[in-house]
Structure 1
Amino acid sequence: MTTLTNTMPRVRGIFQRAETVWPGLLVCGLAALAAQFLSDHYGAPAMLMALLIGLSLHFLVDDGERCAPGIGLAAKTVLRLGVALLGARISFEVFAQLGWQVVGLVVGGLLATMAFGWAAARSLGRGWRLAILTAGSVSICGASAAMAIAAVLPRNDLSERNLSFTVFGVTLLSTVAMVVYPILSNVLGLTDLQSGVFLGGTIHDVAQVVGAGFSVSEPVGETATTVKLIRVSMLAPFVLILTLVLRRTGMAEPVDGKRPPILPGFVMAFLGLALVNSLGAVPTAIQGLLWALSKWAMLTAIAAVGMKTDLKRILAVPPQSVALIFVETVFIAGFVLAGVMVLV
């Protein structure tokens, strides 16, 4: 009887919490569905559509208490769930498939782009948060990386704007690259292996890598996708190292008044899924299901981030920020192309 008495308030609390957040979660989910519909029927990038739809619904956050709690939950918790489930696609076999030269080129591209982004941000008068956010998203996996990195960066009054701008920027540039880079690889006379490494090592988002690679040939598409998965696997180590650096320097954002954990829960889940998948313990059907759930969680979270961002603030982004993400994109393209010419 005592156990039942203690349990009932918790159950009521769960239902009250669900009643508070479901309207906002529902709106974000519907926005994600609409974005995927536009992508499937008109070829528009789903991530970009989710962000734009979210921006158009910003009034729901300003409207008061009805939708704001659920939108906040989607922008934070659902986001972290989506990043964690990305680990289900990672298998350490991909490192062996292409050899350590290609892996070294991918890691070198990440490190070089981060250093370049930091220097470029300083020369353009941009802050270190934007430098890490844009360079990390450009060098790892586009919008997914931007949202994972933003989850551990200390927040300020420009955090939502910078995240929305970065998601918009990398998605747009990735779409342009999907069209331009295959033409460039053909003009340069790259082999199938070189083309796959170049496309997978430079285009920001997974969907655009797949589109670009298979538009050239099936072998190029398979190589590009494998290289892209190597880049995606860099996300968890990067976020871990960033978290440790922020803690050490005292800049990490506190969680419930306490220091944040050394290893964020969603990064632990990412690494755990990657390890289990590498051991062959995740059936193909389950892997596909987890990947689909990750995709929908990310779309829902991006829609929520859009809803939390005032479009006027996006339009007020300084041209230096636009130049920063553009030159980072050009830099990693040049770095990987040079590496492909020498190493592959």
Structure 2
Amino acid sequence: MLKRQAEQMARETKTIFPGLLVCLTIAMASGFLSDHYGGPVMLFALLLGMAFHFLSEEGACKAGIEFAARTILRIGVALLGVRITFDQIADLGGLTIAGVAAGLVLTILFGWILAQVLKLKPSLGLLSGGAVAICGASAALALSAVMPKTPYTERNTIVTVVAVTTLSTVAMVVYPLITEYFAMDHVEAGVFLGGTIHDVAQVVGAGYSVSEEAGDVSTVVKLLRVTLLVPVVLVFSFIFSASRKKKGEESSLGILPPAFLIGFVIFVFLNSMSYLPSMAIEHMTDLSRMCLVTAIAGLGMKTSLKEITKVGWPVVILVVSETIFIALFIFLLVACF
């Protein structure tokens, strides 16, 4: 029995190795470009991956690319939990927590409604709204993992990732100027930047460009949004599972939370209880980042540029509108309270 299992594992490893190696190579190349020339590493991974789309269509790399885009993705999302503690979230105060949570929910609902106004699939509005409201590319990947698979799922995911990554980079430059123009103090600036910018890296860059205190506050607010990924993924999983059952289809999603989500919560708990040494947290954070970049490379390789060009302006309008919506909501929250 053990021998057969070992042989099967060896066969599966041999099958996925070529494609996974290509994804890892693209991820490392993207990291090199980001470190030496600036720019978001995930955007580099997407663009480089799309340049090698032909490898995903057939041949030895196909299985490994699929493995990277699905399994490696889930590992990366689970490991995001090592960056968060319950104390960090509690220190923000009830009003800030409630305001950020409300902004998240309303942004997702806004995306769902606007998608239908623009005659797009409601699921695209939920996906892009969740990505904008929570943590950009990482949220898009996590949410798409529990949404039903359609011929358009991967294209919608990759377009959402491209859009939120690009807008997050723009926000990293523009939003600190807004905080300066409106004379926000360090805490207000931190709440605004952490509550509006999509990706964690861009929040850190924007926050610490204002001040050390603004950087600390913005990072914790952003991590609160990342933590809210857990209930949102659970709700998405339940909604789409119930929808499939209502239509008489078999549901592969189930009511139980996905394993990667359980892993995320476990890591948050372990970090909150100080069970994880600082060196382990540092290495696991780096591993999470590498897994997500590798997954993005895989998704990029599975995406055809020809298909991307068919998306059209309505999708661009959708994501930009969601970005403006959450920015206005958090700005009013800061201004009023």
1:26 aligns with 2:26: no
Give the Å deviation of 1:152. 0.5
Give the Å deviation of 1:66. 0.5
Aligned residue number for residue 3 of structure 1:
none
CA distances 1:240-286 after superposition (whole Å, capped 9, x unpaired): 11111222233699999755352100011111111111111111111
Are residues 81 and 253 of structure 1, via their aligned partners in 2, closer, same or farther at CA, if it must alter by over 3 Å? farther
More moved, 204-213 vs 6-15: 6-15
Aligned residue number for residue 59 of structure 2:
65
* In 1: Cα distance, 2:163 partner to 2:265 partner: 28
Q: Among 33, 44, 49, which residue is 1:49 paired with?
A: 44
* In 1: Cα distance, 2:292 partner to 2:248 partner: 24
* In 1: Cα distance, 2:80 partner to 2:175 partner: 25
* In 1: Cα distance, 2:269 partner to 2:67 partner: 28
Are residues 254 and 275 of structure 1, via their aligned partners in 2, closer, same or farther at CA, if it must alter by over 3 Å? farther
Q: Among 126, 129, 144, which residue is 1:132 paired with?
A: 126
Kindly provide the amino acid, as one letter, of the partner of residue 17 in structure 2. Answer: W
Kindly provide the amino acid, as one letter, of the partner of residue 125 in structure 1. Answer: K
More moved, 307-316 vs 296-305: 307-316
Aligned residue number for residue 321 of structure 1:
315
Give the Å deviation of 1:156. 0.9
Are residues 253 and 226 of structure 1, via their aligned partners in 2, closer, same or farther at CA, if it must alter by over 3 Å? farther
Report if the CA contact (8 A) 1:182-1:212 is conserved: yes
Q: Percent same amino acid among aligned pairs? A: 44
More moved, 203-212 vs 117-126: 117-126
Q: Among 201, 215, 224, which residue is 2:195 paired with?
A: 201
Report if the CA contact (8 A) 1:154-1:253 is conserved: no
* In 2: Cα distance, 1:186 partner to 1:119 partner: 33
* In 2: Cα distance, 1:221 partner to 1:33 partner: 27
* In 2: Cα distance, 1:256 partner to 1:24 partner: 30
1:284 aligns with 2:278: yes
Kindly provide the amino acid, as one letter, of the partner of residue 172 in structure 2. Answer: M
CA distances 1:37-65 after superposition (whole Å, capped 9, x unpaired): 11100111001000001000101112x23
1:219 aligns with 2:231: no
1:122 aligns with 2:116: yes
Report if the CA contact (8 A) 2:241-2:255 is conserved: no
Report if the CA contact (8 A) 2:238-2:254 is conserved: no
Number of positions where the alignment pairs a residue of Structure 1 with one of Structure 2: 337
CA distances 1:74-96 after superposition (whole Å, capped 9, x unpaired): 00000000000001111111122
Cα RMSD between the aligned structures?
1.7
Aligned residue number for residue 150 of structure 2:
156
Give 5+ residue unaligned stretches, structure 1: 1-5
Are residues 87 and 48 of structure 1, via their aligned partners in 2, closer, same or farther at CA, if it must alter by over 3 Å? same
Q: How does 1:144-293 map to 2 (within 5 A)?
A: 144-250=138-244, 260=254, 262-293=256-287
Aligned residue number for residue 104 of structure 1:
98
1:14 aligns with 2:5: no
TM-score, normalised to structure 1, is: 0.95
Kindly provide the amino acid, as one letter, of the partner of residue 18 in structure 2. Answer: P
Moved segments of 4+, more than 6 Å: 252-257
Report if the CA contact (8 A) 1:254-1:260 is conserved: no
Report if the CA contact (8 A) 1:142-1:171 is conserved: yes
Report if the CA contact (8 A) 2:172-2:202 is conserved: yes
* In 1: Cα distance, 2:195 partner to 2:162 partner: 20
**SS at structure 1 position matched to 2:13:** helix
**SS at structure 1 position matched to 2:244:** coil
TM-score, normalised to structure 2, is: 0.97
